[in-house]
Amino acid sequence: MNDRNRQLRARQAALAAAIDRPGYRRNAGPARRLVQIINGGAMPVAVDHFYLSHPVELDGTESEGTAGTASVDTTQTIPVVVLGHVPSVGDMLPAFAVGGRWVAERGGNGGQAFMCSPCAIPTQNLTISWINPPNGNGSDTMMYSSVGPTWSTGCSGGVGIGNPFLFKLYCTAGSVELRVYFFVTGACPTGSSEYCSNLQSPGSQLILTNYVCDGGFTLTFDLTELSCPAVARSGITGLVITL
């Protein structure tokens, strides 16, 4: 019995020594986490620089075709060195622990996108152009904001139209929605406003007639005196959103 106990103790000691030896444990690779880029007030405009970010966790139903839900922890701020291409506010990037620093790489000019239907919307500034045969065509920049997120113009969206409109793009309940705000009383942007959108019914409706999701990004909307009279009376017959 004593010999048996000595053998067991020897085996346990050998196993403990093997566990403690370097290289016994499998290398799990560097620590990594998903982060979302923010602007802390001194955001750089070049790669190989530190950007501020918030950590992100993804949730949602794990079923093919369903969208993931991002949960951003705004109570934590993480400096991240970004390689590759300059990121935009709202970009979600995988970051890796390298040499005691968090390092992420942003892809090419396509950048990141917010999943929506029928097209994922690029998380960067977009351009909206309007077709206005009697008064002249024009365009404006839709500024991207990660809050929402939203893409919107200022009152300058009315230049070349004759009336000041505000153009705003959303992902509403999983669907792309363009809203054109028009002011029924007062002045833009503080007056009383109403809007037409592609998710509204005729009378306040834009019509999504075409879209390009692969190899670019284009949303095309039409409107008529019947679908959206308040905007159509300005002369606008169509709106196109592009990168």
The rounded distance, in Å, linking the Cα atoms of 194 and 157 is 16
Do 144 and 81 reside in the same domain of the chain? no
Interval 168-193 mean pLDDT:
90
Return the CATH number at 217.
Answer: 2.40.128
What is the domain extent for residue 36? 32-110
Looking at per-residue confidence, does 21 or 229 come out higher? 229
Do 125 and 231 reside in the same domain of the chain? yes
In a domain, 11, yes or no: no
pLDDT at 109: 44
Q: What Cα–Cα distance (Å) separates residue 84 from each residue in 49, 54, 57, 105, 144?
A: 11, 20, 23, 6, 21
Do 106 and 129 reside in the same domain of the chain? no
Q: Which of 33-47, 108-122, 213-227 has the lowest mean pLDDT?
A: 108-122
Do 96 and 135 reside in the same domain of the chain? no
Do 185 and 219 reside in the same domain of the chain? yes
Last residue of a domain, one of 110, 140, 155: 110
Do 79 and 160 reside in the same domain of the chain? no
Contacts of 44 (CB under 8 A, 6+ apart): 50, 51, 86
Do 105 and 128 reside in the same domain of the chain? no
Do 103 and 166 reside in the same domain of the chain? no
In a domain, 192, yes or no: yes
Do 54 and 143 reside in the same domain of the chain? no
In a domain, 102, yes or no: yes
Confidence of residue 43 (pLDDT cuts 50, 70, 90): confident
Interval 29-51 mean pLDDT:
83
Entry pTM = 0.56
The pLDDT tens digits for 124-169 are: 899 999 888 888 888 889 999 988 899 999 886 554 455 688 999 9
* Cis ω before 149 (30° cut-off from 0): yes
Do 132 and 227 reside in the same domain of the chain? yes
Confidence of residue 28 (pLDDT cuts 50, 70, 90): low
- Tell me how many domains the chain contains: 2
On average, the pLDDT of the chain sits at 83
